[in-house]
């Protein structure tokens, strides 16, 4: 690995959306809560590796890692803490 590769840092960002404003579909669910979602990317700077945070007011509904982005849609999972209705 070259020095330039070693000095590169990966920076992820957190995308924040309100539950009543995000356009998504539940791909997997558990007990009526969405654990894997497909959602419309509104931020063109979003990249796989970023975090999606979905809020209802100040309450966290979904906090998940964005695994991939394809055709303007992101795929994120929150298999342990989701409170987002499927």
Identify whether 83 is part of a domain: no
12-25: per-residue pLDDT in tens? 899 999 999 999 99
Given pLDDT bands bounded at 50, 70 and 90, which one contains residue 7? Answer: very low
43-56: per-residue pLDDT in tens? 889 999 999 999 99
Identify whether 86 is part of a domain: no
Identify whether 64 is part of a domain: yes
Identify whether 66 is part of a domain: yes
Number of domains in the chain: 1
33-43: per-residue pLDDT in tens? 999 999 999 88
Q: How far apart are CA 11 and CA 18, in angstroms?
A: 23
Domain enclosing residue 49, as ranges: 3-77
């Amino acid at each position: 690995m070259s020095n330039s590769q070693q000095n590169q840092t990966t920076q992820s960002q957190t995308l924040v959306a309100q539950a009543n404003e995000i356009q998504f579909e539940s791909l997997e669910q558990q007990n009526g809560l969405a654990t894997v979602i497909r959602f419309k990317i509104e931020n063109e700077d979003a990249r796989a590796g970023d975090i999606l945070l979905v809020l209802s007011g100040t309450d966290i509904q979904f906090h998940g890692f964005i695994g991939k982005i394809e055709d303007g849609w992101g795929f994120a999972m929150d298999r342990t803490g989701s409170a987002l209705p499927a």
